[in-house]
Amino acid sequence: MKEMYPKNGRVILHVDMNSFYASVEMAYDPSLKGKPLAIAGNVEERRGIIVTCSYEARKFGVKTTMPLWEAKKLCPQLIVRKPNFERYRAASMGMFEILRQYTTLVEPVSIDEGYMDITESFEFGSPIEIAESIQKRVLEQLDLPCSIGIAPNKFLAKMASDMKKPMGITVLRKRDIPKVLWPLNTNDMHGVGKKTAEKLTTIGIQTIGDLAKGNEIQLKTLLGINGIRIKERANGIDSRPVDPESIEEFKSIGNSTTLPRDVSNQQELFQVLDSLAETVSVRLKRKNVLASALAITIRYKDRKTITRSKKLSNPILHKEDIAAFAKQLFLKSWNGDAIRLLGITGNDLVDHEHAYKQLDLFSYEKDAKKEPLLKTLSNLRDKYGKNIIEKAGTHKVDPSHNVGTGTSFNKDFLRSSPNKKNEED
């Protein structure tokens, strides 16, 4: 069996759950199977937005990020459910537990997808046999469909998993690139967003093949270092390892300041917290992470120092949210004495792409309006690749998140522990 694996290269799988939220709801309630189903926020209101939908709904033209009223117009029989993130996290844990039974080299990139390096996993069979086994077990144990790409690197594995949905298994070798990838438009390429694709057309690049043969000086002038990177991807070059621990390097991000004089005026102290929140927000964005907990530090004029922290229901990174929570903590903790130093720290950091919110869906709507390109991370990953979420000044880090193991999951895992509180999320 070892002979079926490359002597020098790697074998990478990209496992991508199909229509994940909708599929989980169907596993929870089998009567929904085969019906047009959508997961949406504010299901009672016209301004609700489709988070994801079943393949049956997609046949009617229903799409992720589409307004709910428009989706119902296209598909009057559409069934709509609110998201239940506790349920989705349980399913995610079950899926990753299965993946880790084949290799320890598993890198989650979101709640519903991850990479595996199975180069040394030949004891479980050939790469195709392993992919078939994973797909079968995820379906039998969790009642969830997935697609799997098999390739020598992460980029090609991701491209391969997108080629057959649902329940597809696709092998993409480097020798297949000219025939399979190069004819595709650049906006079909993982890591190339709509705006980047539009920029590429200005220098005559329409297809992935054009990009693969593009002039490096032109590409770097147009897109900076990313221009060289995407040209390498177009040629099937990607040396990134599957790294289960990549997110662990960032434990906390914070900032503090010693005041020029002892201050007891609440308005002045709030202004300091606003400034600290902005700095922490910038640093979180540069690391491409969000904070799941927030801490404040208060040092009084007598040098007595206290720290108070709070676990957040939803991960945050915007300065307004950080400032609001910090002020709440401050008011609960401050004894009214003059203050010498203030600090804010974001803890329990999670990568931007799998910071799946327990949104009351009003929060989802608000976020969608703030950042239209981030309305749903799953849609952007499917269409544009994860680099589309970067903003100016951000520093890209390879995402990884340990969703946990050690719990036994089977087909009935969703029904065993419904959470009333989270049913309403």
- In this structure, are 11 and 158 located in the same domain? yes
**241 occurs within a structural domain:** no
CB of 219 closer than 8 Å to CB of 227: yes
What's the pLDDT at 391? 41
Averaged pLDDT, 251-273: 91
Residue 302 marked in a binding site: no
CB of 148 closer than 8 Å to CB of 14: yes
- In this structure, are 108 and 24 located in the same domain? yes
Q: Identify the active-site residue in 25, 56, 113, 353.
A: 113
Q: What is the pLDDT of residues 96-112, one digit of tens each?
A: 999 999 999 999 888 89
What's the pLDDT at 85? 85
- In this structure, are 69 and 93 located in the same domain? yes
State the chain's maximal CA–CA distance in angstroms: 73
What's the pLDDT at 45? 58
> 85 is written with which tokens?
């993130």
CB of 113 closer than 8 Å to CB of 16: yes
What's the pLDDT at 384? 52
What's the pLDDT at 404? 34
**397 occurs within a structural domain:** no
CB of 354 closer than 8 Å to CB of 108: yes
Residue 365 has pLDDT above 80, yes or no: no
- In this structure, are 143 and 102 located in the same domain? yes
**383 occurs within a structural domain:** no
Q: Name residues whose C-beta falls within 8 Å of residue 131's C-beta, 6 or more positions apart in sequence.
A: 13, 148, 150, 169
Indicate the pLDDT class of residue 265, thresholds 50, 70 and 90. Answer: very high
Averaged pLDDT, 342-367: 63
**388 occurs within a structural domain:** no
Q: Residue 282: exposed, middle, or buried by beta-carbon count in 10 A (0-12, 13-18, 19+)? A: middle
Q: What is the DSSP string of 111-141?
A: TTEEEEE-TT-GGG--HHHHHHHHHHHHHHH
Residue 146 has pLDDT above 90, yes or no: yes
Q: What is the pLDDT of residues 319-338, one digit of tens each?
A: 999 999 999 999 999 999 99
Please say if 245 is a catalytic residue.
Answer: no
Indicate the pLDDT class of residue 254, thresholds 50, 70 and 90. Answer: confident
**300 occurs within a structural domain:** yes
pTM assigned to the model: 0.63
- In this structure, are 330 and 279 located in the same domain? yes
Q: What is the pLDDT of residues 368-397, one digit of tens each?
A: 444 444 445 545 555 555 444 444 434 433
What's the pLDDT at 201? 97
- In this structure, are 122 and 191 located in the same domain? no
CA dihedral 374→375→381→383, nearest 10 degrees, is -110
User: Which residue from 260, 254, 336 is spatially nearest to 300, judged by alpha carbons?
Assistant: 336
How confident is the prediction for the chain on average, in pLDDT? 83
What's the pLDDT at 250? 53
CB of 373 closer than 8 Å to CB of 65: no
**422 occurs within a structural domain:** yes
Residue 112 marked in a binding site: yes
**391 occurs within a structural domain:** no
Which domain does 330 fall in, by range?
247-369
The domain that holds 218 is classified in CATH as 1.10.150.20
Q: Name residues whose C-beta falls within 8 Å of residue 29's C-beta, 6 or more positions apart in sequence.
A: none
- In this structure, are 202 and 156 located in the same domain? no
Q: Give the least confident one: 230-239, 378-387, 391-400, 409-418.
A: 391-400
Total of domains in the chain: 3
CB of 125 closer than 8 Å to CB of 394: no
Between 252 and 275, the higher pLDDT residue: 275
What's the pLDDT at 108? 87
What's the pLDDT at 10? 96
**27 occurs within a structural domain:** yes
- In this structure, are 40 and 136 located in the same domain? yes
- In this structure, are 28 and 166 located in the same domain? yes
Q: What is the pLDDT of residues 280-302, one digit of tens each?
A: 999 888 888 889 899 999 999 88
- Of 369, 389, 413, the position where a domain reaches its end is 369
What's the pLDDT at 379? 53
- In this structure, are 207 and 303 located in the same domain? no
What's the pLDDT at 46? 56
- In this structure, are 64 and 149 located in the same domain? yes
- In this structure, are 155 and 6 located in the same domain? yes
